[in-house]
Structures are given as C-alpha cells and as structure tokens.
C-alpha cells in the first residue's frame, strides 16, 4: 500500500478487517480521505484462484520448478511487509472444517463473521445487531468480484477469529460464541485434556481500548468435525484390540483425599486409603470406593460427611521389618458429582467428551490391577517367572505386562488392551550388578580399584537406584544412591563422633568402621562405596552389603545391543500377539472384579469387529529414456531397470578410511568402488571418475583436519565417502565437520559392507547420495496425485521435537521442521532450533516456517503456496489443545510477516505412533507375510476412532517383524476442507516418497525427515567427550557441559551450501 494512502498502521491503530474499517468510516468520516484509493489494491480475485491460473499455465521442469512470470501479488523473499488489512472472511475461505450459518441470516448461535487475523493484533467482527450491511453487500460495495461475494462459493467462511480486539473507534457489543473450555489436570502420571460441555452464547460489551490498554479475548481452537467416512479402497474385515465397555447412566461421587505426610509413593497411599475404608467403615457403609493413588476417590453412593472436610488418622506397618508403624493423617472432602450419562451424549457427538467421567472410569478399571501389579504409566507389570527370564545385559531384564486404557469411540466406550514390555533392573547384589555393567565374568576378576572410566560408567548406571542393606539383621533399611565414591573403601573416610554426647569427631575409614562396629571384614575393600541419603551426612555403604531393591524400572536409554535383545524378546507376529491379548482379557476377568461390579460396569471379552479399507498404492515415476513407472506391491518395489527421476553426475569425490588396513584392504576397497560406479550408473547417477583422493586414517582427532585438507585441495569436491569400522564416535564428528563447517556432502559406510559387497546395500547408498547432492529419486505419478496438487502450489511441512534421554535434566530439546521446495513433492529444506529442556511446543516456529516458505518461493521461481499441509509428530492427546493454540498461530504469523494479504489454507495434522491400538485380519487369507500382518494401506476411520472429530488409523507400511503398528492421524485444523478419502489417500501417497528406501514407510515422509533432522542436530551438539562415549547407552547428563544458547544455536547451524539439499537423508 502506498505511503500516502490511509493505513491503520500509519494512524497507530490496531490491525482491522475491511468490515471494521467500514465501522471506522461510519463513526469518523474524517478518516475517509485517500482510503478509497487504498481499497482498490484489494480488488484482485481470490489469491488462490489467481495462483491456480498462473500455476496451471506453467510448465514443470524435472526439478519441480514452475516456469513463468509470477503474478504481481506474490511476495518477495527479501521484503517483509507489515501485517495486513484483511478482507471479509469468505473472500479467503478460511475455516476449521465446520459449516456455520450464513452471517446474513439471524441465528441463535450469533454471528460467524470473522477473519484470519494477526494473532498479535486482530480486528473484531461486529454482531448482527449493529447497523452493518450484510457480508454480501459489503463485497458488492468493495467490488471484490462475484465469485467471492456469492454465499454459494465452495469456500467456507472462517469458524471464528483467533483473537478478537475491539477498535479504538468502535464500542459495539461483541458476541462471544460458546465453545468448549479446556485445561489440563493430572491423571495418574500423565496429563490429559479436560473437556467441558459447550456453554451458551453470551454477549458483553467490548471495553474501550486506549493507547495504554489492550483488551483481548483469546478464543479456543477447536478441531474440525469428521467431514465424512472414507470409501476408497477395497473393504477388509478386521479385529482391533478394543473391548466394548457397558456403562450405566448413574451419578458417581467424587472426593478429594489429602494424605499427610505428603509425596508418599502411590503404593503407600493406596495402603493408607484401604486402611481408612476398613477402620472407618461407618463412613462407607459397605461400599467399595476406588482410589487413584494420589487425590481422587470415587464412590457409588454419597458418604455421610456432607460437604465438610473430614479428618481421620490411621497407621500402617513400617516398610522394614522391626520398624514401628507409620501414622498418617487423612482428610476427605466432597468435590462434585460425576454423571456417566453424559458419556452417551458425547458418544453421539452431541457434546464434548466429559473428561471427568473418563477419569472416573479409568480409576475404577485400574483400582484392582494397581494393587496386584507394578503400575508404570498406563501399563501393569509383574516379575518374570524363573522359566521366562529375558536378560538384556548391564543388570537389566525384560518384564512383561499389559497396557490398559479407556477410550471414547463412535457410539460406544472401549477398553484398549495390549501386550506391554519394558526394562527393569534385576533383583541382585550390587557386586553382581557391577560385574554386569563392566562386562566381567565374575566380580572376582576385578582385583584392582576401578579406573576412572569404569567408575564413571558404573556411577551413571546405579545413581538414583534404591538399595537395601544386608548387614543389619532383620532391619533391612532402604536407601537411594546419590553417588559412587572416587576412593575405595580402604581410603574413603568420614567424620565419626567419638561419643553421642560429644561434638568431637575423628576421621574413620569405611573398612575400619565395619570391622569395629559390625564385626565385618570387607572382602572387596579395593572397590568404591555408595554414598546414600543426604550428601552432608556422609553416609557410605560398601558395595558388598547392598542389594538392589526389586521392581525398579529402568528409565535410562538402552544401548544398541540391549535394544536388539529387547526387540528379539518382545517381537510377536500378529496372530501370536492377538492370542496373548485374549489371554490377558481372560486372566483379568474384569466382570468378576469386585470394584468394577460395584459400579455396574461390564466389559465384553471379545475384540471389536470393524471394517477397514485397503487403499490402492500410488505409482512411482522414474526417469531416464524409458521413464518407467513402478507399482508397489505389499508396500515395496525395486529399482531394477530404472533410472532416478533426476540423477546427479559426480565428477569429484574422495574416500577416507577410518579403519585399520587389515580390516579394509585396498583390493576390497577397489572392488567396492568399481561396483559403486557400475550400480550408480545403472541407476542414473553417473560417477564419472574414480575418487581423486583416498587415504587411511586412524582416530577422531584426524577427522576435521583431513576433511579440511580435502576441501582446500579440491574445492569442487562433491562427496566425501567415509569408511568406518562399525558404530563409532567418528560418525558424529564427520557429520559435524561436513554439515556445519565445510558444507560438503558426506556418506558413511561400514567396513563389513566394503568386505562383503551387496547390490542391495550399494543401491541404498545410491539412493542417499543422489538426494544429498540435490537429485530426485522418484516422484508420485502426476495423474495419481490429488487434483489440487496438479493445479496449485502446495507446501508440505513435517515437524518434530526430540528430547534428551530419560533421566537427563540438562540437555536442550531440539525442534526440527522440514518443508517441501518443489511441486512433486520430493525435495525438502530443513530448519532446526534448540529450545528449552523438554519443551514440546516449538518455540521459534514462526521464523522456521517463514524460512521454509521463502525457500519454497525461491526454488519454485516465484510461487507461494496456496495451501499448507502440516504433519506434526510427537504430540500426545493431552497436548493437542496447547500445541494447536500455539503452533497454528505461529504458522499464520509467519505468513503474515511475508505479505499482508497472504493467507494460505492450513491443515494441521498430528501423527501418533506411540499408541497401543493394533489391527488383526479377521480372515487369514488377508494376512500378509510371515508375520501375518494387515496389508500395507489398511485404513480405519470407523468403530475405534473419535466420536466426532476427524481422525483415522493408517498402516502404510508392510510389517516385516512383529506386529504392525498403524499410525494414528488426528486433524486439529483444516482450512482446506479435505474429505476423508482425500486426506487419507494424500497421506498414504506421502508415505511412498521417503528417499532412503524403495518401501512405503510408517509415517509421511516430511514427518520422518523432521525426525532425521532433529537426530542429526543432536550429533552436531555433541562435544568431544560425549562423542567418545557415544553408543554406550548412557545419557551422559552428569558430565554434560552446559553451553550458552548462542553457542548451541551456532553448533546446529548447517552450512549455507548444504542447507539447500537434503543433507539429513
């Protein structure tokens, strides 16, 4: 907009809609000068329609560019304009997927006038009662075109504004639409959303806004309703591990329980409440109340305590033999009634799912299992039988159990039951634990004091665990380990009081103390001690008098070998897993659970039957002269007789071998190079010459100088191939130097693949090398893509946040976002940030999205996306509202920072892999492969999905080992009004565009790439000490050197040259 024309920004006013500008003019005619000329700038047709015309007129190059002169309204990547004045809502058609009544027709729900506004400064729509003209007449006055003005336009109006702000010149009533409120509250060890029924619409006036005050009403974002049920694909009969739960329409009574002393384990709290129910039976009248182990107690009938808080005292047996009973004070107070009848309305889609009813059901169903088993999250575990022990190494073993959760689905409540397994520490002596950690055959092999590296390794593993002592007879006290001493027991001293009445102390060694006090001569005085309790008390225990307390779950990261053992121990093919789940249901016998029966609840013993669909796979287009198309079968295809869609020619490359020459002989290396050049040529990626440089190296300190020497000597080098002896810290250093310092592509290969040449392995290397150098392996056949992908520029985003290993409380989280930069889509650019420890919300999403939008604009030579499709990985259900509210606004803000009238349609989809829903073929003839899994492309959007919101399950990959886990997709926002078939087919197609293999993968490629980017950034952040311990399976948080945010941000910043290609492939 020209500077001499009217702009609310120039007047110091908040951003407003055109509609509110009309109000400004009505109330203050003095502002009309120059405004009519300014409005003329908004007269072009709908931006998406105009972009479609330009897009369809272009010719796509093999690289996915759009060649033509871009329309005049496209933004410049080098120019950031101010947030912009907006049209009325239906001119851009932004909607969250719900149909709203026409704003020109009075409605009991009030007006739906709204706009896709700047989340930081937004205009408010006027209510129907104000002296405003209808939306259609406003369009007519502004001459925005009949296509936009007609209410029959296929583009729906916006649902409601992000944030409403009254204009300083307008003080008309603002109608706040009723919407469901949401906040989080603790449930067990997790946080879940609390969804309350919608409130009735309420009207209240807007307060005037002055220069010193801002009145903002923030609205809640609501996920879209399910648009329809999908029909594409062939039907398939399935069973899901969901069991129907029948619930009476009764009221429950919710009580708050406070226990003093506080912060006791749940197990202790349950014992306390159980004792209260027994001792004060007159309060409970023979009822069987249920308790969650923290604060929530539910009963079927009201307790005779009214609404007053009642306090009682009970005592329970001490933890240790010979210890006196512990006294507890317990107070109980009525909180609310919980109406289970609301669930029926929620399952019909009439109201939001009442969280308080779901929580009550969950507590009822978990009450008895929590007393019988070891609860971990939503799962229950039991110690393994002696005949069924699965050791993992390092003092850990596998415990098997089951997962249990209550879920609302279409028309009925379901209980999700699944097999579960996790790692626990063995119940054994600390000496045996030390031997396992250090890989000793016997503790007797350790005849010397521990070296520094041994002590650090042992300390990392045992710190935080509980031990009980064996030298005090029947009183076996328990302690939590704080540290491992640096000195052995012979040299470790502590200040010992000469007498109880004397403050004088004398230094006494641990060996001497145990010999004099307990008459014990230590057998391993050369080993260190455990420091327990409070550090200032100097309590040291020799290893040989300590035993690990049973039932301690391992929260530390498993090593690669331990992970391999875990997979081997827990992998079950689909029929076997189905059989085990049915055994769990039979053993649990919920219908005989006295607490479940108390509340009149029953559980079906058979898995629910559902009808799914197997979607047809897309065809893949390859290049070369033949331009062959590949058709996936059972989720895979091969590249034989096919060329990359766009292959790269390699003229300059080098090889560095970080292995001993006897491990990787020169003759074997020459043979590998010959085969690599041959197979790459057959694939359409021609390696023109032998490597210009080849050298053997030995250790990590040589990585940086060697790679710098290659880059300086051969400035045009395209690729450096690194040969490694196996999993080694050198890998992280190679990626740090290549990605962040030199900007040169690196490809690592293990010596075993050099010595034993496999065509499949070399083909996979070619897939990765081609895209790292800017090539395109394959694309979806254009005719099979959705119509809008052929007529509009669309950008696909993938986002993920990775957190440090469990137990690490220092390292930052890493947020990664990738965005497509061509029209296929096949090529992606990445943006990565470090952020606060364990922060799930992507804090700098606005600038990250802005970077990627500009990258799309540059690579497509002047096209800006008309649609944004955003796949967000790693979000739990309890975080939906928080993530949506923050990240959707960030995406919108990024668009508005680029251009004032840039409003692409946004679809925000959460991808979930960490769930326990499994699908099994009802007909054995439908089973695929040796594992008997469901076919790739199996989709379910009925029976086990959300009662009203837009979600579905899609198993896009072919299960090779174990039971396939379908990915769960939940649409949190949809401006683009996708049908179920459109979004499911699009998602399935994206699972075939992953560049590192010729298989469909379990989640869409952009979401997968975001995970790879974050994982690569974790390597970039490692310092030298961490790289030296990489692969040990420990978190390393204790020795982590805290760096400044600026230095960490610089450490993960990739070189400008390599940022233009998929370096993370």
pLDDT digit string (tens) for 368-384? 999 999 999 999 999 99
| DSSP string computed for 728-765 | -THHHHHHHIIIIII--EEEEEEHHHHHS--HHHHHHH
Least confident of 279-288, 395-404, 907-916: 279-288
Q: Which of 4-13, 67-76, 165-174 has the highest mean pLDDT?
A: 67-76
CA distances from residue 642 to 624, 627, 634, 639 in whole angstroms, order as listed = 8, 8, 19, 5
Contact between residue 820 and residue 828 where contact means Cβ atoms under 8 Å apart: yes
pLDDT digits (tens, 9 = 90+) for 1-35: 333 332 322 323 233 333 333 332 332 323 222 22
Q: In what side-by-side order are the strands of the sheet with 234-240?
A: 828-835, 813-820, 794-802, 867-873, 905-912, 967-974, 951-955, 938-940, 608-614, 234-240, 919-921
Average pLDDT over residues 285-310: 93
Kindly provide the b/e burial profile for residues 639-678, where b requires at least 16 CB atoms within 10 angstroms of the residue's own CB.
beebbbbbbbebeebbbbbbbeeeebeeeebeebbeebbe
Pairing of strands 326-339, 296-299: unpaired
Pairing of strands 173-176, 202-205: antiparallel
Pairing of strands 653-657, 693-696: parallel
Residue 289: per-residue pLDDT: 96
- CA–CA dist 720, 711 (Å, integer): 9
Contacts 24+ apart (CB under 8 A), 135-144: 135/19, 135/88, 135/90, 135/102, 135/103, 135/104, 136/104, 138/18, 138/19, 138/22, 138/88, 139/88, 139/91, 142/18, 142/39, 142/42, 142/43, 142/87, 143/43, 144/42, 144/43, 144/87, 144/91
Name the residue with tokens 């209510």.
127
Cα 713 to the center of its chain, rounded Å: 43
Smallest Cα–Cα separation from 190: which of 778, 876, 672?
876
Contact between residue 617 and residue 307 where contact means Cβ atoms under 8 Å apart: no
Residue 44: per-residue pLDDT: 34
pLDDT digits (tens, 9 = 90+) for 626-685: 899 999 999 999 999 999 999 999 999 999 999 999 999 999 999 999 999 999 999 999
Contact between residue 196 and residue 183 where contact means Cβ atoms under 8 Å apart: no
Instruction: Say if residue 830 is exposed, middle or buried (CB neighbours under 10 Å; 0-12, 13-18, 19+).
Output: buried
Phi-psi region of 687 (alpha: psi -120 to 50; beta: other; left: phi over 0): beta
- CA–CA dist 689, 671 (Å, integer): 14
Confidence of residue 761 (pLDDT cuts 50, 70, 90): very high
Cis peptide bond N-terminal to 825, omega within 30:
yes
Confidence of residue 219 (pLDDT cuts 50, 70, 90): low
Q: How many CA atoms lie within 13 A of 376 on its CB side?
A: 18
pLDDT of 983 strictly over 50:
yes
Name the token pair of 205: 């006036």
Name the token pair of 253: 């009574």
Residue 124: per-residue pLDDT: 31
Alpha helices in 443-593 (DSSP H): 452-462, 510-517, 560-570, 574-588
pTM of the model as a whole = 0.80
Cis peptide bond N-terminal to 1005, omega within 30:
no
Smallest Cα–Cα separation from 639: which of 181, 298, 995, 907?
995
Residue 211: per-residue pLDDT: 32
pLDDT digits (tens, 9 = 90+) for 816-855: 999 999 999 999 999 999 999 999 999 999 999 999 999 9
pLDDT of 159 strictly over 70:
no
- CA–CA dist 490, 504 (Å, integer): 23
3-state helix, strand, coil in the chain (%, to 5): 30, 25, 45
- CA–CA dist 178, 109 (Å, integer): 8
Phi, psi angles (nearest 5°) of residue 1039: -100, 10
Cα 67 to the center of its chain, rounded Å: 37
Q: What is the DSSP letter of 86?
A: B
CA distances from residue 378 to 401, 403, 748, 997 in whole angstroms, order as listed = 11, 6, 40, 35
- CA–CA dist 823, 64 (Å, integer): 5
- CA–CA dist 683, 622 (Å, integer): 10
pLDDT of 237 strictly over 60:
yes
Q: What is the DSSP letter of 274?
A: H
- CA–CA dist 974, 986 (Å, integer): 14
Residue 442: per-residue pLDDT: 94
Helix axes of 355-372 and 266-279: crossing angle, nearest 10 degrees: 90
E-assigned strands of 6-74? 59-60, 66-67
More confident residue, 10 or 883: 883
CA-angle at 721, arms to 717 and 722, nearest 5°: 135
More confident residue, 700 or 132: 700
Phi, psi angles (nearest 5°) of residue 53: -60, -45
pLDDT of 161 strictly over 50:
no
pLDDT digits (tens, 9 = 90+) for 512-560: 999 999 999 999 999 999 999 888 888 999 999 999 999 999 998 899 8
Contact between residue 654 and residue 714 where contact means Cβ atoms under 8 Å apart: yes
- CA–CA dist 214, 1002 (Å, integer): 47
- CA–CA dist 622, 202 (Å, integer): 59
CA distances from residue 533 to 527, 572, 854, 922 in whole angstroms, order as listed = 20, 42, 56, 56
Contact between residue 721 and residue 747 where contact means Cβ atoms under 8 Å apart: yes
Alpha helices in 92-201 (DSSP H): 135-142, 146-149
Smallest Cα–Cα separation from 111: which of 179, 164, 159, 169?
159
Helix (H, G, I), strand (E, B) or coil at 171: coil
- CA–CA dist 81, 856 (Å, integer): 18
Name the token pair of 676: 């690599």
Residue 119: per-residue pLDDT: 39
pLDDT of 944 strictly over 90:
yes
| Other C-beta atoms lying within 10 Å of the C-beta of residue 143 | 12
CA distances from residue 242 to 340, 404, 415, 500, 765 in whole angstroms, order as listed = 20, 10, 5, 63, 42
């Amino acid at each position: 907009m020209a500077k001499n024309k009217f702009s609310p920004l120039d007047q110091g006013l908040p951003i407003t809609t055109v509609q509110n500008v009309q109000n400004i003019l009505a109330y203050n005619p003095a502002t009309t000068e120059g405004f009519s000329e300014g409005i003329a700038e908004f007269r072009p047709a709908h931006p998406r329609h105009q972009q479609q015309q330009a897009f369809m007129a272009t010719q796509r190059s093999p690289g996915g560019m759009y060649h033509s002169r871009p329309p005049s309204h496209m933004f410049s990547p080098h120019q950031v304009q101010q947030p912009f004045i907006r049209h009325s809502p239906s001119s851009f058609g932004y909607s969250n997927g719900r149909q709203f009544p026409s704003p020109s027709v009075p409605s009991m729900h009030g007006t739906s006038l709204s706009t896709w506004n700047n989340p930081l400064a937004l205009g408010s729509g006027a209510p129907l009662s104000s002296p405003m003209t209808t939306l259609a007449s406003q369009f007519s006055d502004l001459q925005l075109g009949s296509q936009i003005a007609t209410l029959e336009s296929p583009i729906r109006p916006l649902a409601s504004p992000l944030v409403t702000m009254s204009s300083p010149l307008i003080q008309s009533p603002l109608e706040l639409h009723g919407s469901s409120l949401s906040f989080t509250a603790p449930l067990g060890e997790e946080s879940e959303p609390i969804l309350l029924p919608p409130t009735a619409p309420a009207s209240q006036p807007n307060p005037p806004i002055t220069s010193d005050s801002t009145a903002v009403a923030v609205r809640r974002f609501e996920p879209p309703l399910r648009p329809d049920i999908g029909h594409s694909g062939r039907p398939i009969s399935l069973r899901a591990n969901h069991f129907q739960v029948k619930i009476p329409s009764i009221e429950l009574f919710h009580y708050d329980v406070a226990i003093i002393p506080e912060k006791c384990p749940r197990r202790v709290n349950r014992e306390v409440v159980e004792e209260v129910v027994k001792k004060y039976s007159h309060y409970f009248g023979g009822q069987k109340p249920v308790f969650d182990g923290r604060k929530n107690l539910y009963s079927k009938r009201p307790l005779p305590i009214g609404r007053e808080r009642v306090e009682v005292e009970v005592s329970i047996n001490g933890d240790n033999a010979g210890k006196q009973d512990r006294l507890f004070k317990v107070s109980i107070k009525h909180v609310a009634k919980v109406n289970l009848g609301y669930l029926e309305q929620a399952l019909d889609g009439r109201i939001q799912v009442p969280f308080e009813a779901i929580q009550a059901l969950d507590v009822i169903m978990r009450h008895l299992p929590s007393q019988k088993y070891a609860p971990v999250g939503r799962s229950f575990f039991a110690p393994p039988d002696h005949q069924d022990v699965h050791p993992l190494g390092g003092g850990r073993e596998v415990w098997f159990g089951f997962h249990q959760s209550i879920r609302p689905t279409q028309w009925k409540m379901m209980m999700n039951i699944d097999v579960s397994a996790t790692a626990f520490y063995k119940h054994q002596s600390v000496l045996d634990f030390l031997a396992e950690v250090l890989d000793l055959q016997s503790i007797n092999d350790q005849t010397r004091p521990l070296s520094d590296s041994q002590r650090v390794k042992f300390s990392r593993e045992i710190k935080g665990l509980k031990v009980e002592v064996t030298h005090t007879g029947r009183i076996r006290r328990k302690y939590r380990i704080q540290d491992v001493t640096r000195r052995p027991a012979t040299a470790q001293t502590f200040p010992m009081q000469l007498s109880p009445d004397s403050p004088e102390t004398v230094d006494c060694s641990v060996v001497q103390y145990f010999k004099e006090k307990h008459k014990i001569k230590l057998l391993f005085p050369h080993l260190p001690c455990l420091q327990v309790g409070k550090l200032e008390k100097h309590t040291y225990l020799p290893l040989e008098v300590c035993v690990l307390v049973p039932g301690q779950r391992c929260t530390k990261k498993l090593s690669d070998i331990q992970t391999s053992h875990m997979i081997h121990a827990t992998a079950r093919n689909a029929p076997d897993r189905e059989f085990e789940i049915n055994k769990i249901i039979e053993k649990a016998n919920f219908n005989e659970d006295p607490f479940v029966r108390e509340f009149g609840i029953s559980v079906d013993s058979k898995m629910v039957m559902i009808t799914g669909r197997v979607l047809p796979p897309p065809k893949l287009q390859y290049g070369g002269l033949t331009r062959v198309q590949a058709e996936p079968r059972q989720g895979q295809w091969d590249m034989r007789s096919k060329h990359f869609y766009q292959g790269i020619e390699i003229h300059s490359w080098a090889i560095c071998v970080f292995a001993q020459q006897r491990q990787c002989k020169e003759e074997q290396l020459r043979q590998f190079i010959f085969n690599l050049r041959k197979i790459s040529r057959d694939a359409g990626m021609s390696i023109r010459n032998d490597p210009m440089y080849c050298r053997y190296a030995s250790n990590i300190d040589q990585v940086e100088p060697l790679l710098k020497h290659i880059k300086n000597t051969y400035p045009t080098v395209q690729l450096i191939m690194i040969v490694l002896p196996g999993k080694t810290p050198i890998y992280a250093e190679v990626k740090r130097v290549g990605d962040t310092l030199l900007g040169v592509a690196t490809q690592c290969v293990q010596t075993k693949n050099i010595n034993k040449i496999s065509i499949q392995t070399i083909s996979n290397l070619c897939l990765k090398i081609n895209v790292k150098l800017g090539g395109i392996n394959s694309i979806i056949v254009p005719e099979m893509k959705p119509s809008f992908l052929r007529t509009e520029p669309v950008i696909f985003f993938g986002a993920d946040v990775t957190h440090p290993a469990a137990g690490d409380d220092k390292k930052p989280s890493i947020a990664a976002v990738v965005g497509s930069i061509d029209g296929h889509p096949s090529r992606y650019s990445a943006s990565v940030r470090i952020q606060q420890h364990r922060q799930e919300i992507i804090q700098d999403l606005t600038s990250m999205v802005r970077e990627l939008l500009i990258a799309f604009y540059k690579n497509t030579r002047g096209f800006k996306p008309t649609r944004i499709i955003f796949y967000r990985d790693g979000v739990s259900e309890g975080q939906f509202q928080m993530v949506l509210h923050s990240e959707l606004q960030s995406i919108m803000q990024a668009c508005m920072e680029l251009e004032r009238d840039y409003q692409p349609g946004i679809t925000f989809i959460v991808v979930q892999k960490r769930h326990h829903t499994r699908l099994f073929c009802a007909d054995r003839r439908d089973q695929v492969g040796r594992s008997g899994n469901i076919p790739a492309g199996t989709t379910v959007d009925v029976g086990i999905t959300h009662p009203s919101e837009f979600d579905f399950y899609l198993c896009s990959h072919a299960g090779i080992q174990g039971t396939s886990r379908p990915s769960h997709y939940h649409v949190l926002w949809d401006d683009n009004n996708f049908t179920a078939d459109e979004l499911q087919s699009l998602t399935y197609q994206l699972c075939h565009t992953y560049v590192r293999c010729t298989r469909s993968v379990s989640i869409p490629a952009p979401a997968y790439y975001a995970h790879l980017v974050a994982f690569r950034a974790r390597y970039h952040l490692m310092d030298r000490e961490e790289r030296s311990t990489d692969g040990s399976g420990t978190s390393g948080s204790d020795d982590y050197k805290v760096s400044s945010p600026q230095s960490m941000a610089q450490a993960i910043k990739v070189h400008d040259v390599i940022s233009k290609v998929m370096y993370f492939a």
